[in-house]
Amino acid sequence: MAAQTRKAAIVGGNRTPFARANSVYARASNQDMLTAAIDGLVARFGLQDAQVGEVVAGAVLKHSRDFNLTREAVLGSRLSAATPAYDVQQACGTGLEAAVLVANKIALGQVESGVAGGVDTASDAPVAVNEDLRRVLMELNRAKTLQQRLKALSGLRPGHLSPSVPSTSEPRTGLSMGEHAAVTAAHWGIGRTEQDELALASHRNLAAAYERGFFDDLVTPYLGLARDNNLRPDTSMEKLGKLKPVFGKGADATMTAGNSTPLTDGASAVLLASDEWAAERGLPVLAHLVDAQTAAVDHVHGGEGLLMAPVHAVPVLLARNGLTLQDFDFYEVHEAFASTVLATLKAWEDDAYCKETLGLDGALGSIDRSKLNVAGSSLAAGHPFAATGGRIVATLAKLLAEAGPGKRGLISICAAGGQGVVAILES
Amino acid sequence: MSDWYRDFANSGLGATITKQLGLPRPVELRRFEPGQPLLPGPAVVGSAGQGRLQEQLTTLLIDAGVTVSSPTADGERLSAVLLDATGLTGPADLAGAHALLAPAVKRLAPSGRVLVLADPPADADSPAQAAARQALEGLVRSLAKELRAGATANLVLVPAGAEAGLAGPVRFFLSGRSAYVDGQVLTLAAADVPAGQDEDRPLAGRTAVVTGAARGIGAAIARVLSRDGAHVVLVDVPAAGESLAAVANEVGGTAVAMDITAPDAGPRLARQLLARHGGADVVVHNAGITRDKLLVNMDADRWNAVLAVNLQAQLDLTQALLDTEGALKAGARVVSVSSQSGIAGNRGQTNYAASKAGIIGMVRAWAPAFAERGATVNAVAPGFIVTEMTAGMPLGTREIGARLNSLQQGGLPVDVAETIAWLAQPASAGVNGQVVRVCGQSLVGA
């Protein structure tokens, strides 16, 4: 065990352009896309046949056959087949959690380099057999005699033919994530206009970043798609304002397809390393992963919003690092829904909430909104669940590198199950 | 890509028909493969007048494992005939060239080589000597047109003092690397030539940048440079990133997605080359676009786009590399891809031909400055090369385009790549400011 820890360097990243579900990547599997993201990273950094310390990635929607998804992707990639890999899964926090895990092993000196990634497809989702049918089939599998087999088969019903389709509903509440977010939006009084403004900024910022070539070394085209196809560079408040609400009820129905993320397909990968490993290969160090924190809230019984866990995680992270919420040059708050970002910021500004719910001395305060999601975020790019963390880590690392040494960025990602993952990067 | 006509002409029935009708009878050319001997059969070396190179050439061949045969031996098929014509004093001495070549060419094997070495006419002591030297150009170009079955004839001009740089070019013209280079005149210059190179991996340990590397000729260049031992940095526009990454991973190189016409492209590339690779040994300017229209119908956008990508970007990138200390390593090799259109012109391609002719002006102008750094800058000018682009041409146009050359077939991207890889070799130090056509001695242009 290393006597001292060290900060892991973020060398660079690569992702596929993100595609709305059932569009360009409709026939691509999680393994296809993760392999493509890794191979693009390999090509960018000349890592053909290289053995990196570990590849850590995951997917939220996963086929049972993909039990070893990341290792299989590595075997299909140009990395050395002697590169170990494992899967992680923490809902939408998967990608960032993977980066934290790799960074921690680097910090401890257990590996010198690693790739963190994530992938998701809503188009090639795992459709399973009906749960009742599955029980019958398992019973049949256990049957030893003809009589037992016939008895098992007698349990078959026509209704068993309808498949079990994955959904974004919370298992314990039965509410979809959007419905949960609508409850939170109503609680915090998040209006339609401010949500649409945030969505508009996301599209404008992402489009501008593409125009200035920012993504030239962060994205590799895939299956003929060169840019995220959810991006609408020409959208406007008028266009967004015309969309009908899809979540919430009555006057509180403010969430539309324009200010919520669509189901998306895509993959991302980030290369992390020790400074020495990067220097030996002449590779850049864009930023370092300084620290990270997870949190979870009781959205079932505790009255807290499903996507509010990052609100709880950030003050813990700030306190441990002796920082205030204002000590950052960039903020990357994952736009699951525009209302989620706005509720998060509002909660940190709320003195009573910060005291009573977070147990702080007072409000964390507001942030300079011009530093928020400056290269666009999930509302414009789309949100292939497990791939979002890798997109954000690589984007923020490059923003920090461009801004020069000593700059600091905060990442906040909410996840299903009432969880949140947050992290600090520093150039 | 298969050449259906060549395959037909080499079939039993096809051979009879094409012979009877006097149609072109192209053969499959001898192309280079690693580990291959320099020549598959024996060679003869002779001279016209009292030359100074015959002994050097003979030693070079023997060292390369080639059997040097007698000019007068009967029967045996020859893989190459080398004529040392550095001893010419006047036209009368040319009879010696005729005396050597006539019987030897008769014995030339398929994909054989005729290589003539002489002094540059401009260095002659007398008009008679200059006339004799210049006469060789007419002889070689005509002989190249007479040769059949994939054989080529080329002329290398060796000024006094440039003999040390002879081995690389001679090996190139004899080998399968020059399969589609025919009827060319190359002028050597005196230079410090590093002694010896690993002929199987002449670019080992070198870093080579190739622009436009995602597909076609650029991808072929990346593959050949990698095969020859170089670490290749592949550059192409971000939109081509998918195939760029695939080629990079195939050749074990590094992909750089960038628009080379962006204002900061040069400095960005220079910084990356310096940081990641400690500078570049080889730069191949291959990226190019076409926006064809007759001049009168051509809008400014078409004109400007072609000039920006094909010419201005080459000037800017090269200048940025020159300006960045260490970005171009000592003994660097810059090779630009020009075009037959830039030499002969082409209807509908005023913009493209202007850009490709401009490249020729550029490399010639830069050559002396590069020589001072122990570096070289050259151009290759491909003729009709069979690519995805030509596959889309109408059959008639394509077939005529492919046959109008002495080898009676289109070249392959690998032929262009082999010529570039040769220019990139350490042993090519004496080749500077040259334009090497890879056109099978096209009937189009000089």
DSSP per-residue string spanning B16-84: HHHHHHT-----------TT--S-SS-EEEEEEES-SSHHHHHHHHHHTTPPEEPTT--SPPEEEEEEE
pLDDT of A19 higher than 90: yes
The pLDDT-based confidence of B446 (bands split at 50, 70, 90) is: low
Please check whether residue B305 touches A, CB under 8 A: no
> Hey, which residues does A263 pair with through a beta bridge?
A383
* pLDDT tens sequence across B109-158: 999 999 999 999 999 999 999 999 999 999 999 999 999 999 999 999 99
Alpha carbons B301 and A17: distance in angstroms, whole number = 29
Asked if A425 contacts A289 with a C-beta cutoff of 8 angstroms, the reply is: yes
pLDDT at position A320: 96
The pLDDT-based confidence of A366 (bands split at 50, 70, 90) is: very high
User: DSSP string spanning A63-98?
Assistant: -GGGTTHHHHHHHTSSS-TT--EEE--BTBTHHHHH
Q: In the structure, how many helices (H) and strands (E) does chain A have? A: 14, 12
Asked if A358 contacts A365 with a C-beta cutoff of 8 angstroms, the reply is: no
* Displacement of CA B285 from its chain's centroid (Å): 14
pLDDT of A160 higher than 80: no
Please check whether residue B213 touches A, CB under 8 A: no
pLDDT at position B72: 72
pLDDT at position B199: 86
Instruction: Give the number of other CB atoms < 10 A from CB of residue B125.
Output: 9
**Where exactly are the structural domains of chain B?**
31-187, 207-438
Q: Which residues of A are less than 8 Å from B249 in CB distance? A: 39, 42-43, 48, 78
Strands (E), A63-207: 85-87, 113-120
Alpha carbons A174 and A250: distance in angstroms, whole number = 20
Asked if B374 contacts B436 with a C-beta cutoff of 8 angstroms, the reply is: no
Measured in Å, how far apart are chain A's first and last C-alpha atoms? 27
Q: Say which CATH architecture domain B31-187 belongs to.
A: 3-Layer(aba) Sandwich (3.40)
Alpha carbons A195 and B188: distance in angstroms, whole number = 70
pTM equals: 0.90
Instruction: Give the number of other CB atoms < 10 A from CB of residue B388.
Output: 10
How many residue pairs bridge chain A and chain B with CB atoms within 8 Å of each other? 69
Helix (H) / strand (E) containing B335 = strand B328-337
Q: How far is A49 from chain B (nearest CA, A)?
A: 8
Which residues of B are catalytic, by number? 352
Whats the size of chain A, residue-wise?
427
Q: What is the dihedral of CA B51, B57, B58, B61, to 10 degrees?
A: -160
Contact A283 B276 (CB under 8 A): yes
**Residues A338-355, mean pLDDT to the nearest whole number:** 95
The pLDDT-based confidence of A168 (bands split at 50, 70, 90) is: low
Question: Which among A39, A213, A226 is the nearest to B245, CB-wise?
Answer: A39
pLDDT of A161 higher than 80: no
pLDDT of B198 higher than 90: no
Q: Residue B351 corresponds to which tokens in the numbers above?
A: 């913009």
Tell me the CA distances in angstroms from A208 to A302, A341, A374, A375, one per residue in order. 41, 21, 9, 8
Whats the size of chain B, residue-wise?
446
pLDDT at position B282: 98
Alpha carbons A349 and A311: distance in angstroms, whole number = 11
Question: Which residue numbers of A have CB closer than 8 Å to B's CBs?
Answer: 39-40, 42-46, 48-49, 78, 213, 215-217, 219-224, 226, 281-284
Which one of B242, B244, B247, B256 would you mutate to disrupt binding with A, by most A Cβ within 10 Å of its Cβ? B242
The pLDDT-based confidence of B2 (bands split at 50, 70, 90) is: low
Homologous superfamily of domain range A177-212+289-426: Thiolase/Chalcone synthase (3.40.47.10)
Alpha carbons A367 and A348: distance in angstroms, whole number = 9
Q: How far is B262 from chain A (nearest CA, A)?
A: 9
Instruction: Give the number of other CB atoms < 10 A from CB of residue A154.
Output: 9
B144-158 in b/e form (b: 16+ CB < 10 A) is beebbebbbbbbbbb
Q: How far is B289 from chain A (nearest CA, A)?
A: 19
Fold held by B207-438 = Rossmann fold (3.40.50)
Unique residue bearing structure tokens 């050097």: B56
User: Does A212 or B388 have the greater pLDDT score?
Assistant: A212
Asked if B82 contacts B45 with a C-beta cutoff of 8 angstroms, the reply is: yes
Please check whether residue B252 touches A, CB under 8 A: yes
Alpha carbons A83 and B121: distance in angstroms, whole number = 62
Q: Is A339 helix (H, G, I), strand (E, B) or coil?
A: helix
* pLDDT tens sequence across B379-429: 999 999 988 777 877 887 788 888 888 888 889 999 999 999 999 999 999
Contact A46 B231 (CB under 8 A): yes
Q: Is B162 helix (H, G, I), strand (E, B) or coil?
A: coil
Q: Is B351 exposed, middle or buried (0-12, 13-18, 19+ CB in 10 A)?
A: buried
Write the CB contacts of B45 (distance below 8 Å, at least 6 apart in sequence): B54, B57, B58, B61, B68, B82, B84
The complex's ipTM?
A: 0.88
Mean of all residue pLDDT scores within chain B: 92
How large a percentage of chain B has pLDDT more than 70? 99
Asked if B229 contacts B201 with a C-beta cutoff of 8 angstroms, the reply is: yes
Please check whether residue B170 touches A, CB under 8 A: no
Q: Which residues of B are less than 8 Å from A283 in CB distance? A: 276
**Residues B20-31, mean pLDDT to the nearest whole number:** 80
Write the CB contacts of A210 (distance below 8 Å, at least 6 apart in sequence): A227, A231
pLDDT of A420 higher than 70: yes
Asked if B107 contacts B76 with a C-beta cutoff of 8 angstroms, the reply is: yes
Helices marked H in A361-410: 378-381, 388-403
